[in-house]
Amino acid sequence: MPNSIHVLPAHIANQIAAGEVIQRPASAVKELLENAVDAGASEIRLIIEDAGKSLVQVIDNGKGMNAEDAVRCFERHATSKIGEIEDLFRIKTMGFRGEALASIAAVAQVHLKTRPHDQELGLSIELENSIVTASTSCTCSAGTSISMKNLFFNVPARRNFLKSNIVELRHISEEFLHVALAFPEIAFSMISNGQEVHHLEKGTLKQRIVQVMGSSYASRLVQVEEKTDYLNVSGFIGKPETARKTRGEQFLFVNRRFIRSAYLQHAIVTAYEELLPQGSFPFFVLMIDLDPSHIDINVHPTKQEIKFDDDKIVYAFIKSAIRHALAQFSIAPALDFELDPSIQQLDAVSKPFTADQQQQARSGGLYKTFVDHHQAHRIESSSNLRNWKDFFDTAPKETVAAPIQMDALIESKTISCLHIQKTYIAVETSDGLRLIHQQLAHQQVLFEKFNAAWEGSPIPIQRSLFPQAIHTAPSDESLLDSIRPDLLQMGYELESFGKQSFLLNGTPADHPHENSAAIIEMILEDIKDATAGLHAAYREKMAKTLARKHAIRAGTSMSLNEMQSLIEQLSACKQSNVHFDGRPIYMHIELQQLNDVFGS
């Protein structure tokens, strides 16, 4: 029997291993920036072209490498941080895996220039398919410059799995900001296709946050500073007005390494208690510092998920630290002791209770029952109690939502529908009864209407007298800018207004909404991981988001005309019986079923 097991060639093994480390251009950006930080750089510059697909270059003024280290750093498992297995639990630097540069060299064309500060000449090395193709002395600035060109040029199948430039650029921007926020004492800059996207001067953490998020955050930050023998928590959280409908502005670091932890995020959100509306997420940049022996950062290839030796202690401490910070800065709901003007205008407040009305109330049996001594348990059997609700209900009945008697509905052909619990619309049909869910019906109507906008029927725009400012996370700015033409089709007219800011000049004319900024945020969140091209899935996501936000909600009163109009619009839909998420829009009860129930 012939042998079937063989050892892979080194270049294929390297390409396979590289898939774990370098999944997209942003992965290389993260590794190269962290290496620059570990090199002791005080200035780091990131240059990218074609969203990192053509070029990712990181230039730093760190300590540089000598000739031997410059060649050895591209070998697998080459590292300066680990000498023995115990070092894994003492690591406080960033990159330590010893596979980053080897992985990059396996899937891209790499050019390295490096020079230590105490040497006059540096070294230039070029690699392709993990093989050194050129190595010469050169004149260059002290520090290191490493360029990664044509990512996945030798693995075209993997290159095809990359998203659009807009999506890949957003991921790069996120990784850049993670490192920049973790090290405010280092100056960072980012250049994309020849245009400077970020220029961050060295400073304090608060100054770095303001540089990244915008000057409006300067007065909206609350400092967190708590220290114990086990761990320290420092950083800044946002006041309630900085909350967003998405989680994009939440940055949590452990020993300066950005991590994702739904468990600890829950602790932070819980600490805000009732300060935030439901579905909103607070802004925070929090640094957790503790002994590396208490954590395991080697549980995930990207090191963005870590394991604590006692999660509950960390959870409780973070929650307590944030509550203390909020209380210290008096961030709490204000108690308003002023009477609501609408309450003051009610008859019970504004009109006096006349002597005749008082006498009439006292003469009632219900009143006497509850004021007679030791008689609160006795309910007088009296004909006066038949209309006991009138004692409390003196307000005029609402004509629109008033229940309609079934016999009147049957006899009167002018009324064709009935509102039930402000949620369902009952419609008489020729063969029975139809119960329509008003919210699902309206969502389906709007969904098809917004979808039609892609086919040449743009939504009319109502220009705003006072344009609304919309501020985005730095990583979302390019994405929102790219979909502005698409939003215009949907009735939203956006204008770029400086760094990370846009002006909303118009909204859908037929569908006004009090918080259009929240809708824009939801659209961004829904399409972040989609290819930003005009394909069916992208269009549907946007149409569904808009339909959900603009549709009338269950529990909302509707007039007879509004109900009839909704029924007519639903009837004209291409898909009128099933909601776009698969739920039924209405239930039909046949007349024969009713006859069977009542035996008629």
What kind of architecture, by CATH, is found in domain 10-200?
2-Layer Sandwich (3.30)
Task: At 215, list the tokens.
Answer: 């000057």
Distance between CA atoms of residues 104 and 55, nearest Å: 12
Summarised one tens digit per residue, pLDDT across range 260-302 is: 888 898 999 899 877 887 778 899 999 999 988 887 766 555 5
**Which CATH class for the 397-600 domain?**
alpha beta
CA 64 to chain centre: 39
What mean pLDDT is predicted for residues 574-592?
A: 90
| pLDDT range class, residue 361, cuts 50, 70, 90 | low
What's the CA angle centered on 267, arms 263 and 268, to 5 degrees? 120
Pick from 75-84, 90-99, 469-478: least confident: 90-99
Handedness of CA 153, 155, 156, 159 (dihedral sign): negative
| pLDDT (tens digit per residue) in 394-409 | 444 443 333 333 343 3
Backbone angles phi, psi at 170, to 5 degrees: -65, -40
Q: Phi/psi at 371 (nearest 5 deg)?
A: -110, -20
- Rounded to an integer, what distance in angstroms lies between the CA atom of residue 350 and that of residue 10? 88
| Entry pTM | 0.67
Predicted pLDDT at 408: 36
Write out pLDDT tens, residues 488-537. 888 889 988 877 788 888 888 877 666 777 788 877 777 765 544 445 56
Pairing, β 187-192 against β 43-49: parallel
CB 586 within 8 A of CB 434: yes
Q: Kindly list the domain boundaries of the chain, sorted by start residue.
A: 10-200, 205-328, 354-395, 397-600
Q: What type of residue is 8?
A: L
Third-level CATH fold of 205-328: Ribosomal Protein S5; domain 2 (3.30.230)
Measured between alpha carbons, how far is residue 209 from residues 187, 213, 216, 362, 568 in Å?
A: 13, 6, 11, 67, 52
Counting every residue written for the chain, the total comes to 600
The CA distance from 101 to 76, in Å, is 8
Do the domains 397-600 and 10-200 match in fold?
no
pLDDT for res 127? 92
Checking if the pLDDT of 208 tops 90, the result is: yes
d(CA 488, CA 459): 8
Give the residue from 474, 497, 493, 471 showing the smallest Cα distance to 484.
Answer: 493
